[in-house]
Amino acid sequence: MRTRYANLARTRALDPEHDYLAIYQTMLRYEFPWDMKLGLNLAFNRSFSIPAIAAVHTATGELTERTQKRIDDTGLLMYEMVLNGFDQPRGRDALRRVNQIHRPYDIPDDDFRYVLGCLVVVPTRWLQQYGWRRPCCHERQATYLFYRELGRRMGVTDIPDSYEAFSAWFDAHDAAHLKPNDDAATIERGTRDLMLTRIPKPLAPLGNALVSAMYDAPLRRATQVETPAWPIRAGLHLALKARARLQRWFGAPRTTPLFADGITTKTYPDGYDINQLGPQQDRPTNPAAPAQPGYGG
């Protein structure tokens, strides 16, 4: 049992202000890999569901006509920044590409702040409810600081000054703006297949109901998803709680980090060039670098 908390002990010995990247990497790659990936999926689903943001995405067709590619591109750019930070070449290239993709659009800072808030708050709350342990204060702070730095490097202003402040801002913005809208419903139908891959194969017949049960009531309303029957919701809750207890009692720290062999996706089975990710019309005109097999260190 002592080794189960070894990563937590190392995290608590670090300073989140200076070591936020190492702490966040540990959360994703060692402590909560499945939960963090699922939490980030839920965060992106929510960020696409605000009416103004959903309208932009349906207009571009990236999430409705090129769904798998758009999902893969988003995940690759995000994971490259997490795995490499913002100052190493691959992380720097990913951040540059993110800024290039968004540059043609007149996106209000509130929308950028909301997307960042989804990435900070949604996965953290998932861990608080269903992780094998609750994230500690260092981990909450490191999560906030990573995305605050991402926001600053994207030119986003007035980012709340703490995890708690960002969480409060997120809840207020969510309550005011997450409203039922057809664009969000269209995107949810297009992206649902990704969430279905998170369902264990024996439960595949209940897949759609279980995915809907992972959404909270405001997200279901915004995306016009029917509320699953209470036995499905209760069963999912109990199963996730049982999984957390089994991991806590019988699990062991992961020894091989997530993405140790590279990031693999359906769209790029032979590797990818960071500078070529994203919408076709926004691709940079520089000569393409050789395709990379994934995480480059």
pLDDT digits (tens, 9 = 90+) for 69-114: 999 999 999 999 999 999 999 999 999 999 999 998 888 999 999 9
- 102 is a domain residue: yes
pLDDT tens, position by position, 158-197: 999 999 999 999 999 999 999 999 999 999 998 888 778 7
SS3 for the chain, per residue?
A: CCHHHHHHHHHHCCCHHHHHHHHHHHHHHHHCHHHHHHHHHHHHHHHCCCHHHHHHHHHHCCCCCCHHHHHHHHHHHHHHHHHHCCCCHHHHHHHHHHHHHHCCCCCCHHHHHHHHHHHHHHHHHHHHHHCCCCCCHHHHHHHHHHHHHHHHHCCCCCCCCCHHHHHHHHHHHHHHHCCCCHHHHHHHHHHHHHHHCCCCHHHHHHHHHHHHHHCCHHHHHHCCCCCCCHHHHHHHHHHHHHHHHHHHHHCCCCCCCCCCCCCCCCCCCCCECHHHCCCHHHCCCCCCCCCECCCCC
What is the tens place of the pLDDT at every residue in 203-250? 888 999 999 999 999 999 999 999 999 999 999 999 999 999 999 999
The pair of three-digit structure tokens given for residue 182, joined into one six-digit string: 């057809």
Asked, for residue 273, whether it belongs to a domain, the answer is no
- At residue 63, what are phi and psi to the nearest 5 degrees? -95, -10
Q: Above 90 in pLDDT, residue 279?
A: no
- Of 52-66, 200-214, 278-292, the range with the lowest mean pLDDT is 278-292
- 200 found inside a domain: yes
Confidence at 269, pLDDT banded by 50, 70, 90: very high
Q: Is 6 a member of any domain?
A: no
Question: Is there a domain that residue 3 lies in?
Answer: no
Band of pLDDT at residue 62, cut at 50, 70 and 90: confident
Flag whether 164 is in a domain. yes
**Domain membership flag for residue 92:** yes
Domain that holds residue 240: 11-265
Q: Is residue 279 part of a domain?
A: no
The total domain count for the chain is 1
Say how far apart CA 166 and CA 144 lie, in whole Å. 8
pLDDT at res. 122? 98
pLDDT at 46 over 50: yes
Instruction: Quick: pLDDT tens for 112-163.
Output: 999 999 999 999 999 999 999 999 999 999 999 999 999 999 999 999 999 9
Instruction: Read off the pLDDT band of 297 (50, 70, 90).
Output: very low
CA atoms within 13 A on the CB side of 43: 26
